[in-house]
Amino acid sequence: MIITCTLSEEDYLVFYLYTASKNKNHQIKSFYRRILTSCLFLVSALLMLHLAEGYVSLFFLFLGIACFAFYSHYLRWTYTRHYKKHIRTKLHKLIGQSVSLRLEETGLHSQYRFGESAVQYEAIEQLIELPDYFLLLFIGGSGFPLPKTHLNEQEKLALINQLVTRNKIPFQQEPAWHFSL
């Protein structure tokens, strides 16, 4: 089976944001940073209230609540900006290039303008289905985003059958995934 697609910046961005959202270290750090910044503003509000600075206390109270409420939006913006910059500087030659994937008996072979690569099925850690993508995660942290727009229903079923049924690669469906930490 041969799948030909052209990957855009958005395709790579979805891959990076998904892997970041599933990273336990990122989740723990963002949780503690959210709590710490909110608590610092709330403690400052209590301190200002104790010093009889009512308006300043209300300002810090508002900042503490706003920080807790909107910290996830700030993280989404920060991670998106960071990964877009990374993609534009490190992967700019791959954006817009046609990639041909061949599923063979021995493994997954990809061919693009700059070269070829081959990955044995044992090196594929997981196949993940997102609302608009299939993500192939390889052992070692790398992977490949495969947009569903480049596949028809028969190709989707053949891909799942080849990877999951024949080669026993774990398959995970996340139909409602969106980036959040």
Do 29 and 128 contact (CB within 8 A), yes or no? no
> Residue 72 and residue 129: Cα distance in Å, rounded?
24
pLDDT at 141: 86
Question: Which parts of the chain register pLDDT below 70?
Answer: none
CA-wise closest residue to 45 among 37, 89, 81: 37
Residue type, 73: H
> Residue 176 and residue 131: Cα distance in Å, rounded?
7
pLDDT at 7: 93
pLDDT at 156: 86
Give the burial class of 97: count Cβ atoms within 10 A of its Cβ; 0-12 exposed, 13-18 middle, 19 or more buried: exposed
pLDDT at 180: 81
Beta bridge partners of 118: 109
pLDDT at 26: 92
Each residue's pLDDT tens digit, 80-107: 999 999 999 999 998 999 999 998 888 8
> How many residues does this entry show for the chain?
181
pLDDT at 37: 95
Nearest 5 degrees, angle CA 147-CA 150-CA 155?
A: 100
